[in-house]
Structure 1
Amino acid sequence: MNVLKRPIITEKYAALNEVGKYAFEVEKDANKVEIKKAVEKMYGVNVAKVATIRALGKKKTKYTKSGAVTGRTSLIKKAIVTLREGEVIDFYSGI
Structure 2
Amino acid sequence: MKAAQDIILTPVITERSVDDMAESKYTFKVAKDANKVEIAKAAEELFQVQVLKVNTVNCTGHTKRMGRSVGKRPDFKKAVITINPEPTPDKDGKKRKGTIEFFDGMF
TM-score (norm 1): 0.87
TM-score (norm 2): 0.78
Question: Aligned equivalents of 2:103 and 2:24: distance in 1?
Answer: 16
Question: Aligned equivalents of 1:42 and 1:30: distance in 2?
Answer: 16
Q: Which residue of 2 aligns with 1:90?
A: 101
Amino acid at match of 2:42: A
- The answer to whether 1:26 aligns with 2:30 is yes
The correspondence of residues 1-95 of structure 1 with structure 2, limited to 5 A, is 1=2, 2-63=6-67, 68-86=68-86, 87-92=98-103
CA 1:57–1:79: 2 relative to 1, 3 Å: same
**RMSD between superposed Cα atoms in Å:** 1.7
**Which structure has the highest strand share of the two?**
1
Question: Aligned equivalents of 2:46 and 2:104: distance in 1?
Answer: 13
Question: Aligned equivalents of 2:12 and 2:38: distance in 1?
Answer: 18
Amino acid at match of 1:91: F
Q: Which residue of 1 aligns with 2:95?
A: none
Give % identity: 37
Q: Which has the higher contact order (CA 8 A, sep 6+)?
A: 1
Cα distance, 1:94 vs structure 2: 8.3
Structure 1: gaps (5+ residues): none
Question: Aligned equivalents of 2:85 and 2:27: distance in 1?
Answer: 17
Across the two proteins, how many residue pairs are aligned to each other?
91
CA 1:91–1:27: 2 relative to 1, 3 Å: same
Structure 2: gaps (5+ residues): 87-97
Cα distance, 1:20 vs structure 2: 0.6
